[in-house]
Amino acid sequence: MYRGTWISWGSVGLGLAALWFAAPWADWAQKAGRESPSPNEWRVLEPVRYENLTVFPVVARQAADTTGFSTLDDGLSAGDVVITEGGADMIRRSRDGRPVAIPETRGASVNQLVLINRGSKPLLLLAGELVSGGKQDRIIAKDRIVPPGAAPLPLDVFCVENGRWSSGVQFSAGKMMVHPSVREQAAITKEQDKVWSAVRSGTAAAPPVSVAGGLAGPGQAGRPGETSQTVTVTEAPPLDGREQTGGPGEMSRTVTLTQGALSQAIETQAPTQSYEKLYKSPQVAVPADAFVEELQRRFERATGKLKGEPVVGVVVAYGGDVAWSDLFASPALFQRYWPKLLRSYVVEALVRPRSNEQPSVDDAREFLKPLVGHESVETEPAVYSLRQVSEGKYVEMELEALKPTDITLHVLKVHRTS
Length of the chain: 418
Quote the Cα angle for 267-127-53, to 5°: 70
Q: How far apart are CA 157 and CA 172, in angstroms?
A: 15
Backbone torsions φ then ψ of 314, nearest 5 degrees: -145, 155
pTM score over 0.85:
no
pLDDT at 229: 52
Rg, C-alpha atoms of the chain: 22
pLDDT at 57: 97
Helix 259-268 / helix 192-201 crossing angle, nearest 10 deg: 100
Q: How far apart are CA 383 and CA 221, in angstroms?
A: 51
- The number of angstroms, rounded, from the C-alpha of 90 to the middle of its chain's C-alpha atoms is 31
SS3 state of residue 63: coil
The letter for the amino acid at 50 is Y
Digitized pLDDT (tens) for each residue of the chain, 418 residues in all: 444 444 444 443 434 333 333 444 344 334 434 333 333 456 899 999 998 999 999 998 888 999 999 999 999 999 999 999 886 544 444 445 454 444 444 556 789 999 999 999 999 999 999 998 888 889 999 999 999 988 999 999 999 987 776 766 678 887 899 999 999 999 999 999 999 888 887 777 754 333 333 323 333 333 334 445 555 545 444 334 333 344 444 545 455 566 667 677 776 766 777 888 888 888 888 888 989 999 999 999 999 988 888 999 999 999 999 999 999 999 999 999 999 999 999 999 988 877 888 999 999 999 999 999 999 999 999 999 999 999 999 999 999 999 877 899 999 999 998 7
- Give every CB contact of residue 147 below 8 A, 6+ residues apart in sequence: 117, 122, 123, 383, 403
CB 134 within 8 A of CB 161: no
Backbone torsions φ then ψ of 331, nearest 5 degrees: -65, -30
CB 281 within 8 A of CB 257: no
pLDDT at 62: 82
pLDDT at 232: 54
Q: Which helix (H) or strand (E) holds 98?
A: none
Q: How far is CA 208 from CA 200, 204, 256, 260, 281, in A?
A: 9, 8, 17, 11, 20
- H and E: helices and strands count for the chain: 9, 23
What region does 107 belong to: left with phi over 0, alpha with psi -120 to 50, or beta?
A: left
Asked if residue 381 has a cis previous peptide bond (ω within 30° of 0), the answer is no
CB 291 within 8 A of CB 346: yes
The letter for the amino acid at 177 is M
DSSP secondary structure of 315-380: EEEETTEEEEEEEESSHHHHHHHHHHHHHHHHHHHHHSPP------HHHHHHHTSPP-SEEEEEEE
Q: How far apart are CA 369 and CA 296, in angstroms?
A: 27
CB 405 within 8 A of CB 418: no
Q: How far is CA 388 from CA 80, 317, 371, 377, in A?
A: 30, 21, 10, 6
Q: Which helix (H) or strand (E) holds 177?
A: strand 171-177
Longest C-alpha distance within the chain, in Å? 67
What region does 13 belong to: left with phi over 0, alpha with psi -120 to 50, or beta?
A: beta
Q: How far apart are CA 217 and CA 259, in angstroms?
A: 9
